[in-house]
């Protein structure tokens, strides 16, 4: 057996001992133990070594004992190999049978990175009660009761039973059929009981919680406060001020934005003759506009937001990015790239937005290049008017399409790039030392309060600002 196969076998055995095998893995391991003498010998030896180590820890031995012990072990372990192999098989059955029966299945794992999870994290894994920690991506659990729960990273969730789970921190969306009526989601201080519906829950480990009913009705209770409310389609319960967001702080609840979620130098020489210019250089700018009149956008946020929705005319958003090209005056670009860093969004539910397509436009009407981060608005932004046709696209006569990119559903981080002849030619046509790009999302949400995508700005302390990489002739 190859070393890598041997280590994989040992790892599988360790997981069997901890009760963390999927049903398929359990069947596979049992078959290998019964059919393969080498597998039986390896696992028997592993069991014996572990027993010896435990015994050695319990008993102080003379200095010469280890050598004699190894010789003795070598002589007698082959004699009991068959018995040990039988013991291994028996232990496997005991390990996998001693715990409670599976109560859910991990039916889908999309772009997932897992943290400190006590349960198996492979698609198709049968899940007993235990904890899952999702760092990135989106995962769907199907409970044996019929309830489905989508985990939106980052989130820590405990599977309790076929009718209950606990969100320790993070965001989930539950879709519960009538057959699972009464399915319950607990958070540190809140209990949500479903009555056949679809709803989202976002919770912090400090007790803050937001419940939003997408369809149907739920009962929400706060045992510490003695409060119980019944919510129907479109209603939300906010424990912690998450609806009254920093985006629309003065708007009434019905006009508020999507609910909050628990969530290089400005210019430099790059390798091979490329030069990097970010929005932090010179007169660079990065911000967004929103259709709602109560939106508060200062241009100093650490990210700009982009969204398209046909379900709420107040929540459309476009991104605006400008670069100072004064140092490139008189130079001709041979190749170019425009780069954005995706941020984990703090608004909306990712389950309500499929893979999202974005279009990047370049402003060709240079008379509109002198816009201000602090003053730009839905009413007067470049290449924009109030016509409904321009909610998710700019005015066609003022722009040229530079490229497109797609953000997969569930992505909370990533680098997205456009490149090619349209971008290079557009940069070479600049005459005023400033260029403006407009970022729009083509993809609509499937229900109100879908995810708002966010991209890092020059004020962001974790990710790089929007940047141009240009290779000059």
DSSP letter, residue 434: E
pLDDT digit string, tens, across residues 417-438: 999 999 999 999 999 999 999 9
Task: Beginning with the edge strand found earlier in the chain, give each strand of the sheet holding 356-363 in spatial order.
Answer: 285-290, 317-324, 434-441, 356-363, 399-407
**Three-state secondary structure call for residue 445:** coil
Last residue of a domain, one of 68, 98, 128: 98
Q: Could you give the 3-state DSSP secondary structure of residue 245?
A: coil
In this structure, are 310 and 433 located in the same domain?
yes
The predicted-structure confidence for 187-228, as pLDDT tens digits, reads as follows 999 999 999 899 999 998 888 899 999 999 999 999 888 889
**Could you give the percent of the chain with pLDDT greater than 90?**
56
- Tell me what the pLDDT averaged over the chain comes to: 84
Classify residue 340: in a domain, yes or no.
Answer: yes
Same domain? For 282 and 215 the reply is no
Cα separation, 355 vs 450, in Å, equals: 12
Half-sphere exposure of 133 (CA within 13 A, CB side): 5
Say if residue 260's pLDDT is above 80.
Answer: no
- Whether the CA torsion 124, 126, 129, 130 is positive or negative: it is negative
Spatial distance between the Cα atoms of 307 and 318, rounded to a whole number of angstroms: 7
Q: E strand or H helix at 330, and its extent? A: none
Check the CA dihedral 378-383-385-387 and report its sign.
Answer: negative
Q: Would you state the pLDDT for residue 101?
A: 87
Phi and psi torsions of 261, nearest 5°: -115, 155
Half-sphere CA count of 448, side-chain side, radius 13 A: 19
If one counts the domains in the chain, the total is 3
- The strand ranges marked E within 115-245 are 126-127, 130-143, 148-161, 164-175, 184-186, 191-194, 198-203, 209-215, 217-222, 227-232, 236-239
Per-residue confidence (pLDDT) for residue 262, from 0 to 100: 62
- Among 51, 39, 48, smallest CA distance to 10 is for 39
CA gap 334, 428 in Å, rounded: 9
Q: How much is the average pLDDT of 371-397? A: 92
Query: Among all chains, which residue has been given the structure tokens 């209950």?
Result: 164
pLDDT at 274 over 60: yes
- Shared domain for 224 and 198, answered yes or no, is yes
In this structure, are 149 and 18 located in the same domain?
Answer: no
Give residue 261's pLDDT band: very low, low, confident or very high (50, 70, 90): low
Cis peptide preceding 194, ω within 30 of 0 = no
Cite the beta strand spans of 314-371 per DSSP E.
317-324, 333-343, 356-363
Is residue 28 assigned to a domain? yes
- The pLDDT-based confidence of 143 (bands split at 50, 70, 90) is very high
pLDDT in tens, 217-255: 999 999 888 889 999 999 988 887 665 544 455 556 566
Split at pLDDT 50, 70, 90, the class of 44 is confident
Looking at the structure, tell me whether residues 435 and 297 fall in a common domain.
yes
Strands 164-175 and 184-186: parallel
Out of 240, 256, 277, pick the residue that ends a domain: 240
How far is Cα of residue 10 from the mean position of the Cα atoms in its chain?
31
Domain assignment of residue 190, yes or no: yes
Is position 460 within any domain? Answer: yes
Shared domain for 86 and 113, answered yes or no, is no
Q: What is the pLDDT of residue 223?
A: 86
Asked if the structure places residue 259 within a domain, the reply is no
- Are residues 110 and 92 both part of a single domain? no
Which three-class secondary structure state does DSSP give residue 267? Answer: strand
Please indicate, yes or no, whether residues 21 and 168 belong to a single structural domain of this protein: no
- Residue 347 is classified by DSSP as B
Measure the CA angle with vertex 102, ends 99 and 104; round to 5°: 145
Mean pLDDT of 58-76: 41
Q: Do 120 and 39 have their domain in common?
A: no
Same domain, yes or no, for 203 and 326? no
CATH number for 131 = 2.60.120.1440
pLDDT band, residue 94 (cuts 50/70/90): very low
CATH number, domain at 294?
2.60.120
How high is the pLDDT of residue 26?
77
Q: Which domain holds residue 317?
A: 267-472
Tell which of 98, 130, 148 closes a domain: 98
Q: Are 272 and 369 found together in one domain? A: yes
Q: In this structure, is residue 141 part of a structural domain?
A: yes
**Would 157 be classed as within a structural domain?**
yes
Residues above pLDDT 70, as percent of the chain: 81
- The answer to whether residue 250 sits within a structural domain is no
Residue 367 sits in the same domain as residue 458: yes
In this prediction, residue 227 carries a pLDDT of 87
* Mean pLDDT within 87-96: 50
Q: What is the pLDDT of residue 247?
A: 47
Q: What is the DSSP string of 88-130?
A: HHHHHHHHHHHSPPP-EEEEEEEEEEE-S-SS--STT-EE-SE
Q: Taking the CB of residue 17, how many other CB atoms lie within 10 A of it?
A: 17
User: Which range, of 25-29, 110-114, 318-322, 463-467, averages the lowest pLDDT?
Assistant: 25-29
């Amino acid at each position: 057996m190859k070393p890598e196969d041997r280590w994989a076998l040992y790892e599988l055995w360790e997981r069997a001992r901890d009760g963390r095998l999927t049903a398929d893995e359990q069947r596979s391991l049992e078959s290998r133990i019964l059919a393969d003498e080498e597998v039986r010998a390896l696992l028997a030896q592993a069991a014996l070594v572990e027993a010896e180590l435990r015994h050695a820890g319990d008993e102080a031995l003379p200095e010469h004992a280890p050598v004699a012990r190894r010789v003795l072990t070598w002589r007698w372990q082959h004699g009991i190999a068959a018995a040990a192999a039988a013991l291994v098989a028996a232990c496997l059955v005991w390990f996998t049978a001693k715990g409670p029966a599976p109560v859910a299945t991990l039916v889908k794992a999309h772009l997932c990175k897992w943290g400190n999870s006590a349960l198996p994290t492979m698609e198709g894994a049968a899940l007993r009660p235990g904890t899952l920690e999702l760092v990135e991506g989106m995962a769907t659990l199907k409970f044996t009761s019929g309830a489905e729960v989508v985990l939106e990273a980052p989130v820590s969730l405990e599977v309790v039973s076929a009718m209950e789970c606990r969100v320790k921190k993070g965001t989930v969306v539950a879709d519960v059929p009538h057959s699972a009526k009464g399915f319950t989601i607990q958070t540190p201080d809140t209990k949500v009981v479903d009555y056949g519906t679809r709803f989202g829950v976002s919770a912090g480990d400090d007790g803050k919680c937001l419940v939003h009913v997408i369809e149907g009705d739920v009962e929400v209770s706060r045992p510490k406060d003695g409060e119980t409310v019944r919510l129907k389609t479109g209603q939300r319960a906010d424990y912690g001020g998450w609806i009254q967001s920093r985006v629309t702080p003065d708007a009434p609840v019905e006009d508020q934005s999507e609910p909050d979620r628990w969530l290089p130098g400005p210019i430099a020489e790059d390798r091979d003759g490329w030069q990097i210019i970010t929005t932090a250089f010179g007169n660079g700018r990065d911000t967004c506009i929103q259709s709602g009149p109560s939106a508060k956008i200062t241009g100093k946020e650490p990210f700009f937001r982009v969204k398209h929705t046909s379900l709420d005319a107040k929540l459309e958003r476009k991104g605006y990015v400008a670069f100072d090209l004064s140092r490139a005056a008189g130079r001709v670009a041979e190749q170019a790239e425009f780069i954005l860093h995706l941020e984990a969004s703090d608004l909306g539910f990712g389950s309500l937005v499929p893979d999202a397509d974005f279009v990047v436009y370049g402003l060709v009407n240079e008379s509109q290049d002198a816009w201000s981060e602090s003053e730009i608005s839905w009413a007067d932004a470049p290449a924009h008017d109030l016509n409904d046709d321009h909610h998710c696209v700019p005015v066609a006569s003022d722009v040229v399409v530079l490229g497109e990119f797609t953000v997969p559903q569930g992505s909370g981080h990533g680098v997205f790039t456009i490149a090619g002849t349209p971008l290079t030619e557009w940069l070479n046509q600049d005459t005023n030392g400033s260029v403006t790009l407009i970022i729009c999302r083509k993809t609509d949400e499937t229900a109100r309060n879908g995810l708002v995508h966010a991209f890092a700005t020059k004020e962001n302390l974790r990710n790089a600002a929007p940047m141009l990489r240009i290779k000059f002739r």
